[in-house]
A and B are shown apart, each in its own frame.
Chain A
């Protein structure tokens, strides 16, 4: 059973901002609900009010504009992003990461923005967004601000978002269009599962970036590597940027080992 909460369904962005300003910490935003409703059910989250944003008319969905980039709104589900032609044509790394997130029916509801604001270290979308240099556009009644994803996560399940703010859209810049990349995720079974460790690797114009999940309190971006470098440089950079722990799913040593294995595989695979 879910504990009782008030349910609100604002119709406009202004109403949404007003509700967030009024209720602050007591409010939780509902988009796909695949994390929120599970957290409410097991008592981790006890909001007094749940704000369903799916009927807000003036929020972006998903759009490709070569002058700006790929804009992903708060209602855009993983499957909608996977099905978008611009994602297929220009941002294969987003597809790779999205495809590895949970199961088909979860991807029908789960949103890209929900996956990142949840700020789990094992987020599957964060590695791609970090590599692609994506920007978070955060809004509230007070206005808008831009935060690069490299500065968005502040700890386990913690982000820069303040109580009255919403991550309103993600912009994946046009400069990253055409970047090659892939994602390897270690999990217990071939079907859907939480990642034990995940590595995304992106190559574009001689530059290499790594996005690593489940290897530190937040998803990690590793930069400063070039295609002309030896793979050992990427492995060493990843080792110093991450701090994996041992938990019930895997030991620290196995995580370190698999990060290296994945980097070496991706280095050869991503041409």
Chain B
């Protein structure tokens, strides 16, 4: 079947087979390899993209289901060579180590901040509960989200000295 969809603002029309997942379609047919496959079963969230304004695990969506949809991936986060506020905060707080989870993680964070611009630590934890990170232990990611949402008054040096305990 032939599908047409938008990815990060660009329009793409392709022939796809019924059993092709949106994840494989994005990676292999369109070359958006920032979206990763981890578990392939909706547990890890490395494949998270935003489809019509909602986060989804792209490993569990068929490409055909995305016909006519507006899809956003990590490749759409930076613009004109400049990192987004969320990406900068991830960089500043060392919320990226191996980087495999980061593409999906940032999609979940973007969606969380869209729904809830000033999330509490508990709300951040819930917002990223579908995204596993095996490197950071999450602390740096939570700090980055607090920073990206303007909830850390001082510079990043302050954060690392235990502000999070009472954040």
What is A's interface to B at a CB cutoff of 8 Å?
Answer: 1-7, 9, 30, 32-34, 37-38, 40-42, 50, 52, 54, 79, 102-106, 108-109, 190-192
Q: List 27 A-B contacts (CB under 8 A).
A: A5-B18, A7-B64, A33-B62, A33-B65, A34-B60, A37-B61, A38-B42, A40-B19, A41-B40, A41-B41, A52-B62, A79-B54, A104-B126, A104-B129, A104-B130, A105-B45, A105-B56, A105-B57, A106-B57, A106-B60, A108-B55, A109-B56, A109-B57, A109-B61, A190-B125, A190-B129, A191-B125
Give complex CA distance A191, B62 in Å: 26
Nearest-Cβ distance from residue B109 to partner chain A, whole angstroms: 11
A54 and B65 contact, CB distance less than 8 A: yes
Chain A hits for B75, CB < 8 A: none
With A38-B41, A104-B127 in contact, is A5–B65 under 8 Å at CB? no
Nearest-Cβ distance from residue A79 to partner chain B, whole angstroms: 8
A38-B41, A52-B62, A105-B57 given; 18 more Cβ-contact pairs under 8 Å = A3-B19, A5-B18, A7-B18, A7-B64, A9-B64, A33-B61, A37-B21, A38-B60, A40-B19, A41-B41, A52-B64, A52-B65, A102-B130, A104-B130, A105-B42, A105-B45, A106-B42, A109-B57
Chain A hits for B57, CB < 8 A: 34, 105-106, 109
A37 and B18 contact, CB distance less than 8 A: no
Interface residue SS majority, chain A: loop
Give complex CA distance A38, B20 in Å: 13
Give complex CA distance A104, B114 in Å: 14
B60 and A33 contact, CB distance less than 8 A: yes
Give complex CA distance A41, B126 in Å: 27
Give complex CA distance A190, B40 in Å: 22
Nearest-Cβ distance from residue A70 to partner chain B, whole angstroms: 22
Chain B hits for A41, CB < 8 A: 40-41
Q: Does B15 sit within 8 A of A, measured CB to CB?
A: no
Give complex CA distance A6, B21 in Å: 14
B55 and A34 contact, CB distance less than 8 A: no
With A4-B19, A7-B18 in contact, is A108–B54 under 8 Å at CB? yes
B108 and A105 contact, CB distance less than 8 A: yes
Interface magnitude class on chain B: 20 to 34
What is B's interface to A at a CB cutoff of 8 Å?
Answer: 1, 17-21, 40-43, 45, 48, 54-57, 59-62, 64-65, 108, 111, 125-127, 129-131
B56 and A108 contact, CB distance less than 8 A: yes
* Among all A-B residue pairs, the 4 with the closest Cβ atoms: A103-B130, A7-B18, A191-B129, A2-B19
Give complex CA distance A2, B23 in Å: 12
Give complex CA distance A108, B56 in Å: 7
B60 and A109 contact, CB distance less than 8 A: yes
Contacting residue for B130 out of A38, A42, A105, CB 8 A: A105
Give the residue name and chain of the B residue nearest to A39 (CB).
B41
Nearest-Cβ distance from residue A27 to partner chain B, whole angstroms: 13
A34 and B65 contact, CB distance less than 8 A: no
Give complex CA distance A102, B19 in Å: 24
Give complex CA distance A54, B52 in Å: 14
B130 and A192 contact, CB distance less than 8 A: yes
Nearest-Cβ distance from residue B56 to partner chain A, whole angstroms: 6
Give complex CA distance A32, B19 in Å: 15
Give complex CA distance A105, B55 in Å: 5
Contacting residue for B55 out of A2, A42, A104, CB 8 A: A104
Give complex CA distance A50, B62 in Å: 11
Give complex CA distance A6, B18 in Å: 6
Give the residue name and chain of the B residue nearest to A33 (CB).
B60
Nearest-Cβ distance from residue A266 to partner chain B, whole angstroms: 22
Give complex CA distance A42, B20 in Å: 15
Chain B hits for A30, CB < 8 A: 62, 65
